[in-house]
Every structure is written in C-alpha cells, then in structure tokens.
C-alpha cells in the first residue's frame, strides 16, 4: 500500500486535517480544565494521523473507540455538556474520512460534495444535544438503569435487524 500524500489536492489536505484534529478535539473536550495524559494524547495523535493517511482503514474505528472509552475511564457516570462537542468532533472526523475515501488519494474534492456533507453533518450533529438532553432527563428518573438497558437494547436490536434485512434484499449477482 502506498500513501501518495504528495498528490493530495488542497481539498484532500483539509479533509485529512479534520480527520486528524477531530479525535484530538473530542479527547480535549473531556478535560476542559485539566489536560489529558500525555501518552493518551500521543497515542490518539498517532492513530489519528494513520487514519488521516488511510481514511478507509480500520484505524479510524480504533481511534474513535479509544477516544470514546477514554471518556468513561476517569469519572464513571459523568455526563458533561462537553460530551456534545466530543460527539460532534467525532462525527466531523468520520464524515471527513468518508468524503476523503470517495476515491483515490489524489481525487479532487468536489465543492458540491463538501456542501452536501456539510449540511448533512449539521443536521446529524443535532442528534448529539438531543441525546444528551434525553440522557440527562432519564438519569433523573428513579430506576433509570432499567430504562437505559431496555431502550438501548431495543435500539441495538432494531439496528442489527435493519442491517440484516437490507443485506438480504440486495441483488448480488454478477452482471
């Protein structure tokens, strides 16, 4: 595998920069007053750089998981407002990697594609505050642990079933 970063267009550089910075921003949002540990920042930086170079690689998922689980490592049960910032930063990195992987590294980035995903991203970003408010509201309810378990289990099941159904309904014959 070769990484032709010398061939990247300006648009590709911008997208890769978002991929690189997104996880770091999400990590920094966890500790607004207290910086995260150096080894965690370095590890995230290395993984983000790898993801920026190869936006289709599995490194992206590892980076996002590392950042997300670092959120629950220190203070369990906490639900700060900066979680919304982190969620949106992770979403931005994911979408930037998605647009960058529409073609080879040197593919010029179409402005209309960027505009489309910008609007979509802004729309989807609204999910973060909605879920945060919902989580905040549910946490106040007595016995919220059961509610969480049930709700999330249903959501997960729906996602899995939907994926399985759409997978089965697609023609796969060679034409």
Using CB under 8 A, which residues numbered 6 to 35 contact other proteins?
Answer: 7, 26
162 counts as binding other proteins under rule CB under 8 A: yes
Shortest approach of other proteins to residue 101 CB, angstroms?
6
**Residues in binding contact with other proteins, number by CB under 8 A:** 71
166 counts as binding other proteins under rule CB under 8 A: yes
Structure tokens given for 134: 């919902």
Residue from 32, 35, 74, 103 in contact with other proteins (CB under 8 A)? 103
Structure tokens given for 68: 């997300």
Please state the separation of Cα 116 from the chain's center in Å.
18
Q: Which stretch binds other proteins (CB under 8 A): 15-23, 32-40, 42-50, 51-59?
A: 51-59
Shortest approach of other proteins to residue 146 CB, angstroms?
11
113 counts as binding other proteins under rule CB under 8 A: yes
Residue from 110, 118, 119, 141 in contact with other proteins (CB under 8 A)? 110
* Contacts of other proteins in 63-92 (CB under 8 A): 64-65, 68-69, 71-72, 76-80, 83-84, 86-88, 90-91
Q: Which stretch binds other proteins (CB under 8 A): 16-24, 39-47, 138-146?
A: 138-146
47 counts as binding other proteins under rule CB under 8 A: no
Angle (CA) 12-6-46 rounded to 5° is 70
């Amino acid at each position: 595998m070769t990484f032709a970063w010398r061939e990247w267009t300006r648009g590709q550089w911008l997208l890769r920069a978002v991929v690189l910075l997104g996880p770091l921003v999400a990590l920094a949002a966890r500790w607004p007053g207290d910086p995260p540990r150096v080894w965690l920042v370095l590890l995230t930086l290395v993984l983000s750089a790898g993801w920026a170079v190869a936006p289709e690689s599995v490194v992206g998922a590892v980076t996002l998981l590392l950042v997300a689980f670092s959120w629950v490592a220190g203070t369990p049960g906490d639900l700060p407002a900066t979680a919304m910032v982190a969620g949106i930063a992770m979403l931005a990195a994911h979408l930037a990697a998605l647009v960058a992987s529409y073609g080879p590294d040197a593919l010029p980035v179409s402005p209309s594609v960027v505009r489309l995903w910008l609007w979509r991203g802004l729309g989807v970003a609204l999910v973060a505050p909605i879920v945060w408010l919902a989580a905040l509201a549910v946490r106040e309810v007595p016995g919220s642990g059961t509610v969480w378990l049930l709700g999330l289990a249903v959501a997960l099941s729906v996602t899995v079933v939907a994926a399985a159904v759409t997978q089965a309904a697609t023609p796969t014959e060679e034409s």
